Structure 1
Amino acid sequence: MKIVKSFLKQKETLVGIAAAIAFQLIFVTVWLTAYDGVYDRTNQFSVAVVNNDSELGREIIKKLEDRNLFRLKVFEELNQALEALDKRNVNMVIHLPDRIIEKLTVNENITIDYYINQATPTLTKQMMEKAANKINDALNYQFRETINNQMVKRIPQLVTEKVPDEKMKAMVEDIATQVVDMVQKNTKMNPIVANIVKTNEKEGFAITMVPLLIVLASYISAMLISQYLQIANGRLINEYSRFSLFVGRQMITILLALGISLLSIFLMNLFHIELNHNFFVLWGFQSILFFSFLALSQVFVMLFGIPGMIFNIALTAIQIASSGAMVPRELLPTFYYELGHLLPATYGVNSYFSLIYGGGDLGSDLKHLSIIISVLLAIAIAIQIVFSMRDKFKSTEM
């Protein structure tokens, strides 16, 4: 028991226990609140519709709007809609062809194209494909109902027109109605065919996990580096000024960002992860992303020392939940969706979807990461200034 008490008297033991408890509490709380009611918010998805049929197309769009399945955006040109899909501004494009009624009249099948971008979370792709089939089934059902109603009204009427006897006419009409009803029950007309077009497609399931893997591994690595650099900073504080230590620390983080990013690229090549950009683009982006994680994780350990690790644990859970790596950001509660705009993991996930599959807006993601880094470095400098002033105040008191 004496040795157990000795362990418990050590600060590091208590910090380790606190960290383990924090992991449990934080991850369970964040993920269960972030992912609660995900399927209730599918109407937050955006779907583009390109209508080339001026007659029936408007009615189809009106019915889609009335059902409130998605946020509908109507585009005049297919190229514009596909560009929005490529940049992930919409989740699916529905292309309604021309002369739908004319083709139905001559018993010609109609093909409706559903474009789905594969450079998105797996859940988005699955839900959009299900939605495309569901919409197509609804259109076929609507068509069958219209035809069936016309058959019920017209066929018995046409059959009984040539029957002179009134009693026979009622009997023939009843038989004709029963025959029509039997035909309807045993005939399934599906003249509208769904053509699902997958853009930016890549084969293999493992590749879909790369954005989550890289972001999670990078942030945890950055968190550990910041923690141990803070310990080293504490041991060197009596030998160097705060600003000298701060500058040295940033130089180390830049070198580590460049070096560890090379390791990440090597591992992706080792496991045959094919990317749509050259080595220098990938290395440059991964280095910026890793440095943004270092800039974020160092702020809390600078402020609170080793206990600041608790905040970094919380940020790990929050960033994974709000980044869209696992669940589409459109399905998250407003709090997590808006918070995601402020955190680097969101732009890391977006960029890796672009680097792996294509599409997206890599330049915009880099711009946001640069802004986040600048703000975080400004906060870190402000912390050094405040602590330096505090140190001077303490020294004058003594």
Structure 2
Amino acid sequence: MNFKKFTRHQGFGASIFMGVFYAVAMLVIFLIGYTAIPGEMDQLKIAIVNEDAGESGAQISEQLSESLPFKIETDYSHDNALQKLEDNDISLLIHIPETFSANAQNGESAEINYTVNEASATMVASSMSSIVNEVNKQLSASFSTQTAQGILMNMNVPEEQAAAMAEQIENAYVGNYVIMNDVPDGMHNTMLPMFLTMVSYVGAMIAAMQLVQVYKHHRGKESRFKLFGYVQLSALLIAVLSTIAALITAYIITDLDTAVMLKVAGQQVLLYMAAFNVCAIFTFLIGEAGMIINIPILLSQTIANGATIPREMMYGYFEVASYITPMYYSVNAYLATMFGSTDASPFIWGLAAVGVGALLINLLIVTVLHKKEPKPRSIIQ
């Protein structure tokens, strides 16, 4: 067989198509999706809680509200703001204690606390760290030397003495960077929720293509509903085996806590089954060509899963995808379970709902579109 004859096989043309299609789809989805950084940063919310009994706290709160390019919330109590941060409803909590003005005037340590939830989208945690550093520089330079001096002079303190005390206050100002739900050092730990999600989803997508082909190969030999049950049972078996392999690998390489291994294992199996049925929808409909649809859906979820960009910053298409596909629920459930963020239950229920919905759609396809059974094959295969 020469090369020309080899290229006439449909697999040759299909491989060329998939190579070009994958490259174009990946670049279009990724490049458009990541233009949200930093363009949509102003969609993030920051809470400023001012408990200061003096004037300084109000001045700082007003200055920050005007200068920071975010949605500023100032109506929360400290406890309420902490819960909002825990649930990733806000990205940064700036807390001005009630003794701030008094400490500044007395030359004592005047502190402002900046709290960030590390168990969130990586872009949020890194961006908030940079914001805190910049705010601290500005406050150290402006408030400590100018505002403090003005306050002291208003208290009838001599100008020279006020300047000396202001210098003392400048050195006493402290901006505390507080981490909520600390994630172990290393990008491999930070990205573990996304990586576990990705490996499960990709494996499920490939299995969906293969197992549905087995289902179609045996149609006419057994009831389509019995074969559908075999497909689901096979997927469940693969889910358990792949979960064991994935978690052993993750445990060896990362700082995955043994105390959460069982919970993570359950979530991983649930994710696999949800992903399998989502991918199987298009394979049941149009066979192997369903990969043409499944690949863009997979790529879209690398943006919409919330590991890098929070839902507030996503463009409309990706935000919608985060509600109806498995990855967003999986990543956030892992963040909650592994690193102690918000309650994982809503995300697990969301993942289960997506999986059950996809399962019912597949069952409907088998019931309605596969109603006519193929004629039995004359040759035993």
Q: TM-score, normalised by structure 1?
A: 0.83
Aligned length: 367
Secondary structure of the structure 2 residue equivalent to 1:305: helix
Q: Which amino acid aligns with 2:125?
A: K
- Offset at residue 65 of structure 1 (A): 2.7
CA distance in 2, matches of 1:276, 1:359: 17
Aligned equivalent of 1:94:
94
Secondary structure of the structure 2 residue equivalent to 1:302: helix
Q: Which amino acid aligns with 1:333?
A: Y
**Mean alpha-carbon deviation: is it higher for 252-261 or for 292-301?**
252-261
- Offset at residue 105 of structure 1 (A): 2.0
Secondary structure of the structure 2 residue equivalent to 1:12: helix
CA distance in 1, matches of 2:54, 2:229: 68
Q: For the aligned residues, what is the CA RMSD?
A: 2.9
| Alpha-carbon contact 1:223-1:312 (below 8 Å) kept | yes
Q: Say if 2:122 is the partner of 1:122.
A: yes
Aligned equivalent of 1:371:
353
Aligned equivalent of 2:27:
28
Aligned equivalent of 2:257:
275
Q: Which runs of 5+ in 2 are unaligned?
A: 376-381
Aligned equivalent of 2:73:
73
- Offset at residue 149 of structure 1 (A): 6.9
Residues 330-341 of structure 1: matches in 2 within 5 Å? 330-341=312-323
Q: Deviations over 1:87-112 (max 9, x none)?
A: 22222211111133322222223111
- Offset at residue 385 of structure 1 (A): 2.2
Which of 200, 206, 211 pairs up with 1:218?
A: 200
| Alpha-carbon contact 2:43-2:313 (below 8 Å) kept | yes
- Offset at residue 27 of structure 1 (A): 0.7
Aligned equivalent of 2:106:
106
| Alpha-carbon contact 1:136-1:194 (below 8 Å) kept | yes
Q: Say if 2:190 is the partner of 1:208.
A: yes
Where in structure 1 do 4 or more consecutive aligned residues deviate above 4 Å? 147-155
Residues 145-294 of structure 1: matches in 2 within 5 Å? 145-146=146-147, 189=170, 191-205=172-186, 206-275=188-257, 277-294=259-276
Q: Deviations over 1:325-354 (max 9, x none)?
A: 233333322331232122110011112212
CA distance in 2, matches of 1:333, 1:138: 32
Residues 293-372 of structure 1: matches in 2 within 5 Å? 293-372=275-354
**Mean alpha-carbon deviation: is it higher for 63-72 or for 253-262?**
63-72
- Offset at residue 82 of structure 1 (A): 2.1
| Alpha-carbon contact 1:322-1:329 (below 8 Å) kept | yes
CA distance in 1, matches of 2:151, 2:51: 26
CA distance in 2, matches of 1:131, 1:251: 50
- Offset at residue 75 of structure 1 (A): 5.5
Aligned equivalent of 2:82:
82
| Alpha-carbon contact 1:347-1:365 (below 8 Å) kept | yes
| Alpha-carbon contact 1:39-1:331 (below 8 Å) kept | no
Q: Which runs of 5+ in 1 are unaligned?
A: 160-179
Q: Which amino acid aligns with 1:351?
A: A
**Mean alpha-carbon deviation: is it higher for 145-154 or for 263-272?**
145-154
- Offset at residue 153 of structure 1 (A): 11
CA distance in 1, matches of 2:303, 2:356: 24
CA distance in 2, matches of 1:77, 1:234: 59
Residues 146/50 of structure 1: CA separation in 2 closer, same or farther (3 Å cut): closer
Secondary structure of the structure 1 residue equivalent to 2:235: helix
Q: TM-score, normalised by structure 2?
A: 0.87
Aligned equivalent of 2:46:
47
Aligned equivalent of 1:60:
60
| Alpha-carbon contact 2:49-2:95 (below 8 Å) kept | yes
Bigger Cα Rg: 1
